[in-house]
Structure formats: structure tokens, C-alpha cells
Structure 1
Amino acid sequence: MPNDPSEEPRRIRVRREGPVLVEGPVEVVLEDGTSAFSDRCVVALCTCRRSRTYPWCDTSHRRRV
């Protein structure tokens, strides 16, 4: 149940030069209204928009153009 006080809050880690790490499972709702779901225990969300697997990070941020 969402917002259940007995549940631990989700942990989100923001990294200066990389993705946002979110404890999963997660559902990401994109700008166009579509959803992406991952049941992994930690997911990396792309913040640079270079990822070929957006919204998931594929480490494309490491290659500087």
C-alpha cells in the first residue's frame, strides 16, 4: 500500500557525474505518459539523456563528446 507508515522510505542517491540510483522496484513515468518498470533492487536512472536504454542508465555519460 503506498505511503504505508510501516514501510521504509525509498532511498535515492544522487551522483554528480552519473546516474541517480534508486532502490527498487520502481516505475518511471516518462514525459509522454508511458511507463518503464524495473524490479531490480537498485536501478540507475539516466540524467544526461545520452542513454540508449533511457530512462535506465547505460553509462553513456562516461563518453564525453
Structure 2
Amino acid sequence: MSPDDPAQRVVVTGDGPLLVEGPVEVDLPDGTTVRSERPVVALCVCRRSSIQPWCDTSHRRRARRKPPEETP
């Protein structure tokens, strides 16, 4: 990548996937590379997705913690 190449945008969401402007190639731990031609790709960071490294919205099904109750 040279300084003149446009930077890829990565959006870190609060409790969901990383959103990356595509197309993208992802190198996996087993040495394989997967590619997506989509304009925006959601990469799973919760490790619950059944279609790793892509997000399948499994993070939405996890139980949310209740905020601590205040004592008077």
C-alpha cells in the first residue's frame, strides 16, 4: 500500500461486528484466505458466528446484563 492509496474504512461497533469497506481478503488462522466482494463486510468479533469470519448476528442472541440496582 502506498501513501497515495485510499485507506480502507473500519468501523468498530459497540457490541457487534467490525464493519469493513470491501472488497476484503481475510487471512484465517489455518492459513486459508477468504474474500468478499461486498461493499461493506461485517467481521465477527464475538466468535459466536457459524459462518466465521463473517458475522451472522449471533451476538444479538446473547443475554444482556441488567444494570446494577441502586441502593437508597
- TM above 0.5: yes
* Structure 2 stretches lacking a partner, 5+ long: 64-72
Aligned twin of 1:48: 46
After the TM superposition, which segments of 4 or more aligned residues of structure 1 sit over 3 Å from their partners? none
Aligned partner of 2:9 in structure 1 is: 11
Q: 2:57 maps to which residue?
A: 59
Q: How many residues align?
A: 63
Give the alignment of 1:18-57 within 5 angstroms.
18-57=16-55
> Cα deviations across residues 8-54 of structure 1 (Å, max 9, x unaligned)?
10000001200000000000001111111100010000001110111
> What TM-score results when the alignment is normalised by the length of structure 2?
0.81
Q: CA RMSD in A?
A: 1.1
Which has the greater radius of gyration?
2
State the identity %. 60
